Amino acid sequence: MANEDKRRFPRFNSLNLSYVLVDGGENEVERQTMGRTLDVSEVGIRLETHMPVDVGSEMLLSVGLEDEVLDIRGRVIHCSQNKEGNNELGVEFVDKDAAASDILIRFIKAFRQQRGINE
């Protein structure tokens, strides 16, 4: 079997600066860091940070997408270290409101048009 992409939503490579605030939970201290997106879809984002984050952790992300800032909550579904020693986080969006959905959809639509990708 070839490498089949089983994702329901396409991901688009997109390097964007992001601010990450990781929820501390009941007995933990909140942590914050800067990172950058590696790719984005309607349902999640792959993010590179210097700080590892536990799977299951929830976070607030502020991501610069084009001329807008997307503020959205996410949950880490995987974390691995890349060859440069940075952490790559797979984050699924949670509690996505209408404004965040609108920004994501407009960003992805503009990206597709720039690249000549049919809907």
pLDDT tens for 6-43 read: 556 555 556 677 888 898 777 777 889 999 888 888 88
Is residue 49, in this structure, part of any structural domain at all? yes
Helix, strand, or coil here: 108? helix
Q: Is the pTM of this model over 0.95?
A: no
Measured CA to CA in angstroms, residue 88 lies from 1, 3, 93, 114 at distances of 26, 21, 16, 26
pLDDT (tens digit per residue) in 33-84: 999 888 888 888 899 999 999 999 999 988 887 777 888 899 999 999 999 9
The total number of structural domains that make up the chain: 1
Is residue 26, in this structure, part of any structural domain at all? no
Measured CA to CA in angstroms, residue 102 lies from 68, 69, 98, 117 at distances of 11, 12, 6, 19
Domain that holds residue 102: 41-119
Is residue 2, in this structure, part of any structural domain at all? no
